[in-house]
Structure 1
Amino acid sequence: MLDLGATPPCERFLTAAELDAAEQTYPLHVRLCRRCLLLQIPALITPEDTFTEYAYFSSFSTSWVDHARRFVADATDRLGLDGDSLVVEVAANDGYLLQHVLDRKIPCLGIEPSTNVSAEAVRRGVPVVNDFLTEPLARRVREQHGPADLVVANNVWAHIPDVAGFTRALRTLVADDGRISIEVHHALNLVADAQFDTVYHEHFQYWTVLAARGALTAADLSLVDVELIPTHGGSIRFWAAPAEHAPTPSPRVGAVADAERAAGLDRVDGYAGLAPRVSRIRRDLVRLLIDAADAGLKVAGYGAPGKGQTLLNFCGIRPDLLPYLVDRNPYKHGRFTPGTRIPIRPVEQLYADRPDLVVVLPWNLREEITHQLAGIAEWGGRLVFAQPTLQIVDPATGAPTPLPTGLGASPAER
């Protein structure tokens, strides 16, 4: 359904010593299973390639930590969690979510394969099993800690090539009367808004209700509720329960499935318009950056997320058009983006250089980042968001502003 060329794994940021070395690239081709309607890419790399040491620390996003805090509060009320309960989070990262569980004196356990980020979770006081979730590991965790009243799997279900085995492991972890909460990016938004930069080699699947029901059923689980949430440009939270004890599904399950059918996601031709819209996003952004260079404007980028690496590589954007990125994560400072080899610097570099345009790669955090960068308005700096359509934004107000004459305009607009 979509050919994004070939790119390196998105979290393999290069050190200066690696700049003269070759990089392994892999095709990034999005495909659709005609039988189960699961949007996916071939599993060309393994989770072990990516997650043994990982560059993403969840706690560097203020809005994501706040999202986790609200989820814990809501789940505690929803399920009646207390000091006799057990919460297990798969892909616990740096403890961004379980720290809020600890604050409520609820027993918890994280399962996290990345050594460097799990060490940060332990530093926060979160107990962690530093390993990948498998069915044998799930059995050992259940034997040692008991069944979980809540199993949380935020933004991990799409990262697993063996999705059937992983989902069975979730079933092993959860108590018969417990619940599993799974958050993933909603493929409805990917298709509707051409969110192609959510596609990268860590993400093997792109989920809808229509596909999720089949995967859960195969693991003896039932989909009992869904919530549409704004994170990551539009995500969906699946609530699942062991099939033999599952209540009647919420009406929201059917409503979201109906919306997916209305968008054409229950048939192959419903995905056909994605590729042309993606190509338009690339043309508009590259045209803007070329025009900005010709006009002598200073340009920088904000953020070095995985999604940004898909955009940079697909668009062919390199340091001649985007001289550097800044990022809040010190792990990335002094490193270079995979494939495009753009240097990554601390955020303070923006205020030293005073660029005219700042291209925001984590566009899904638009409100948070606009607030963080409001100060660049002092010298007339503007933010650039490439998706879902190209916009230049005044950081002082958060409102879109017209493009300067002849800058980034389409041929018709010129």
Structure 2
Amino acid sequence: MASVLDLGATPLGEKFLTIDELDLPEPTFPLHLRLCENCLLLQLPALIAPEDIFSGYNRFSSYSDSVVRTAKNFVVDAVQRLGLDSESFVVEVGSNDGYLLQHVVNTGIPCLGIEPSANVRATARDRGVPTASAFLDERLARELRAEHGAADLVVANNVYAHIPDLLDFTQALRGLVKDEGWVTIEVHHALKLVVQGQFDTIYHERFQYYTLLSAKRALATAGLAVVDVESLPAHGGSIRIWARPARMSAPPSEAVVDLLRAERAAGLHRVDGYLQLRSRTESLRHSLLRFLLQCRADGKSVVGYGAPSKGNTLLNYCGIRSDLLQYIVDRNPYKHGRFTPGTRIPIRDPGLLANDRPDVVLALPWNLKSELTDQLSYIADWGGELVFPLPALHHATSLSRNNIGLAVL
């Protein structure tokens, strides 16, 4: 295994602290990205059991308007592309709060979610989305297939990177799908991670970071062949992979060939191409710290917007505390009154922004730039700046509802 990027030891990105926990020890774990020199899969060591990460999980996908909108568009496209109807069956692995399957339910197509986190699973069931309570493995796949039948479509959006036992999970995906069915997987694209220095996408609940090449090799271990791929803007740059059992697959599409060629051109079909990530990460860290320190020297008030896992990687790696970021607001009420892991920055209701009128709002989920620029356009009323830390430090220069521009700082 080759070392690619060592971000030090950090706490779990979704373990937000209550006020009673601030004086208690906080476990940290190495956040050290490595590369398999044989299969070229970027990965973190599986130091933490999934039960420790996803029990009491507090990420509700439906709090992001763009995520829900993208999920609805996906369902509409998949139904048309695959000819799904009331006789079909759709399974989503890692179905969260039903943000996607609610649209399948609305079409009248039978479906089932698989979600291990009790709190988000309860929300899905309240929406009328049938949801099994478990982590997917080969045994569960056999049980679900025996009970419900095989699926025409298995969806695994932003879950394939969260699996400690990748081989077992991939076999389970194959076990869920019909011989003539489809598996679609969305993952953050490691090409974007490396080329743009998206270090904050590295956190403990993600064990793998895929190029199309490494995903293709992983799926092949269970007899699943990549047929097509789409590039998506989600998470700063993702790919949606369409695969099916190898004996039913057609030759890969032109999009697959083109993307593999782009990865090769970026150096990601060899080990040394990944080593550029370290210098880019260090440069981004230095730029952000210089900006925040200058804001403090100028007497400007700075608060954060959004408290995702990626934001906590950024805060911990950069050593940002409440002296540089007074507090963070988040739309998820579960996080209100809690504190960020490691950095102990308080999290509050977004309504506080209009009352306090901060000079600068630092958007930690920078990948939602368009959505947040629209949501936070009102801070222009008092001359506030909206700043995004990645892929390069930049801010909205004309922050208004009708005129939005960006400038590099």
- Shorter-chain TM-score bucket reads over 0.9
Q: Which residue of 1 aligns with 2:33?
A: 30
Residue 400 of structure 1: which of 379, 393, 406 is its match?
A: 406
Do structure 1's residue 78 and structure 2's residue 81 form an aligned pair? yes
Counterparts of residues 59-138 of structure 1 (less than 5 Å): 59-138=62-141
Alignment partner of 1:275 out of 275, 278, 291? 278
Q: Write the distance in 2 (CA, Å) between the matches of 1:66 and 1:90.
A: 19
Q: Do residues 258 (structure 1) and 258 (structure 2) align?
A: no
Show CA shifts across 1:94-153 (max 9, x none). Answer: 000000001111000000000000000000000000110011101010000000000000
User: In structure 2, what is the equivalent of residue 357 of structure 1?
Assistant: 360
| SS in structure 1 of the partner of residue 170 of structure 2 | helix
**Secondary structure at 1:321 match in 2:** coil
Q: Does 1:10 align with 2:13?
A: yes
* Contact 2:188–2:209 (CA under 8 A) maintained in structure 1: yes
The alignment status of 1:54 with 2:57, answered yes or no, reads yes
Aligned pairs for 1:379-398 within 5 A: 379-394=382-397, 395-396=399-400, 397-398=403-404
* 2:231 is the counterpart of 1:225: no
Match of 2:219 in 1: 216
- Larger mean CA deviation between 6-15 and 42-51 belongs to 42-51
Q: Which residue of 2 aligns with 1:187?
A: 190
The 1:346/1:45 distance shift into structure 2, 3 A limit, reads: same
TM-score by length of 1: 0.96
SS at match of 2:294: helix
Correspondence for 1:45 among 28, 48, 51: 48
Residue 400 of structure 1 and its aligned partner are, at CA, apart by: 2.4
Equivalent residue number for residue 410 of structure 1: none
Q: How far did 1:249 drift?
A: 1.7
Q: Which amino acid aligns with 1:228?
A: S
Distance in 2 of aligned mates of 1:247 and 1:84: 24
CA–CA separation in structure 2 for the residues paired with 1:76 and 1:340: 44
Deviations 1:213-251 (A, max 9, x none): 111111111111111111110000111101122122212
User: What are the Cα deviations for residues 236-269 of structure 1, in whole angstroms up to 9, with x where unaligned?
Assistant: 0111101122122212111111100000001111
Counterpart of 1:277, as a letter, is R
| 1:28 partner SS | strand
The answer for the alignment partner of 2:300 in structure 1 is 297
Alignment partner, residue 239 of structure 2: 236
Distance in 1 separating the partners of 2:232 and 2:391: 18
Cα distance, 1:25 vs. partner?
0.4
One-letter amino acid of the counterpart of residue 297, structure 2: D
**Would you identify which runs of 4 or more consecutive aligned residues in structure 1 move more than 6 Å?**
none
Residue type of the partner of 1:386?
P
CA separation in 2, counterparts of 1:364 and 1:93? Answer: 20
2:290 aligns with 287
Aligned to 2:339: 336
Secondary structure of 2:161's partner? helix
What runs of 5+ residues in structure 2 fail to find an aligned partner? none
**SS of aligned partner of 1:359:** strand
Which structure 1 residue ranges, 5 or more long, are not aligned?
A: 404-414
Shift of 1:211: 0.6
Deviation at 1:65, TM superposition (A): 0.1
**One-letter amino acid of the counterpart of residue 145, structure 1:** H
Match of 1:406 in 2: none
Distance 2:325 2:385 in 1: 15
Partner of 2:177 in structure 1?
174
CA apart distance, 1:298: 1.0
Give the residue type in structure 1 aligned to 2:337.
G
Deviations 1:351-384 (A, max 9, x none): 1100010000000000000000000000000111
CA distance in 2, matches of 1:386, 1:346: 22
Distance change >3 Å, CA 7–CA 105, structure 1 → 2: same
CA contact (8 A) 2:393 2:408 kept: no
Q: Is residue 230–residue 239 contact of structure 2 (8 Å, CA) maintained in 1?
A: yes
